[in-house]
Amino acid sequence: MHDFEYIRPKTIDEAISFLDVHGPDARILAGGTDLLIQLRNNDIQPSFVLDLKNIPELQTGIQLNNGFVSIGATVTMSEIIMNPLIDRHFPALIDAAKVVGSVQIRNRATLVGNICNASPAADSAPPLLVYGADVIAVGSKGTRRIPLNEFFVSSGVTTLQKGEFVASIELPLPNKKMGAAHVRRTRRRGHDLASVTLCCGVEETGTVRLCYGSVGPRPILMVDESGVLADEKASEEAKAAIFESMFAQASPSKKSMRASPAYRLAMLRVLGRQALELAISRLHEGGK
């Protein structure tokens, strides 16, 4: 492992000031489940590791504020799974959190860290995008609200600017009744990265929000307002045509060892159907 200096700021302003000077040479530590592996394997060699866990302003937990559910930077996957607000309004996010690693990993891994890592296979990204999440970034120029759909650029790359870091993720409380579900496919049972990860949300109006990952450099969100997918009387041919249009932007890598492009594209269609059926079932059950 490459030598680095360990920094523990006590305030957001202190962290911002440090990153403003040393940003390109620093990496942020919250849960550390991805960062520590990257450090151990010498995939990255930062001069500084900035630990945010000692900043009270970031230890906000999960709160309801002005029509948004705010998830602080240090909230773990286990906390997501156990939280009644998330369970009531965003059950597909719990679906995704439950498949992130082992119990030990979920006790350490943070939701914000999972997003900032910007892995195309991140299971939390599809439900967050379906639910319309925003990223709250802080830096020397102030605070920015970034729609999550504009946050991801490519694998490992986000729109965060020099000196910025994510303080929280905010989810708007649904203003329409919606059922949503997250599903995935892996190479083997147990703890593995997703070959395909997908979330489907169905609103009572018939609008379908579909987001899929691990089939391109960033997760892809598609919206269909025709009502066909949610219509029990619609033909299978009509539904298949809409699915094909929604999956048109998938571009799985030919270099991946986890699955071939053909397999991933086939699984998109299978998982899309599974998630749609489960989302419709949850819609009829009141969104659960």
- Going by C-alpha positions, the residue among 6, 119, 110 that lies closest to residue 58 is 110
Listed in order, the ranges of the chain carrying CATH 3.30.390.50 are 178-284
pLDDT, residue 257, reads 67
- Fold observed for domain 57-172: 3.30.465
Average pLDDT over residues 163-180: 95
Q: Is the pLDDT of residue 273 over 60?
A: yes
pLDDT class of 190 with cuts at 50, 70, 90: low
Q: Is the pLDDT of residue 192 over 90?
A: no
Q: Is the pLDDT of residue 250 over 90?
A: yes
pLDDT, residue 287, reads 59
User: Which helix H or strand E contains 6, and what residues bound it?
Assistant: strand 5-7
Average pLDDT over residues 87-101: 95
DSSP letters for 118-178: T-TT-TTHHHHHHTT-EEEEEETTEEEEEEGGGTEEETTEESPPTT-EEEEEEEEPPSS-E
More confident call, 88 vs 46: 88
- Fold observed for domain 5-51: 3.30.43
Average pLDDT over residues 97-105: 89
pLDDT, residue 224, reads 98
Q: Which residues contact 255 (CB under 8 A, 6 or more apart)?
A: none
Instruction: State pLDDT tens for residues 198-238.
Output: 999 999 999 999 999 999 999 999 999 999 999 999 999 99
Q: Is the pLDDT of residue 1 over 80?
A: no
The mean pLDDT value of the chain amounts to 92
Average pLDDT over residues 161-172: 95
Instruction: State pLDDT tens for residues 36-65.
Output: 888 888 888 889 999 998 899 999 999 999
Listed in order, the ranges of the chain carrying CATH 3.30.43.10 are 5-51
Q: Is the pLDDT of residue 288 over 60?
A: no
DSSP class of 230: T
pLDDT, residue 134, reads 98
Would you state the structure tokens that stand for residue 63, as one six-digit string?
């709160």
User: Which helix H or strand E contains 195, and what residues bound it?
Assistant: strand 194-203
Q: Is the pLDDT of residue 123 over 90?
A: yes
Average pLDDT over residues 65-92: 96
Listed in order, the ranges of the chain carrying CATH 3.30.465.10 are 57-172
pTM for the structure as a whole: 0.93
Q: What percent of the chain has pLDDT over 70?
A: 97
pLDDT, residue 146, reads 98
Q: Is the pLDDT of residue 189 over 80?
A: no
pLDDT, residue 39, reads 85
Q: Return the CATH superfamily for domain 178-284.
A: CO dehydrogenase flavoprotein, C-terminal domain (3.30.390.50)
Lowest mean pLDDT among 43-57, 126-140, 237-251: 43-57
- Highest averaged pLDDT of the listed ranges 27-31, 256-260, 284-288: 27-31
pLDDT, residue 37, reads 80
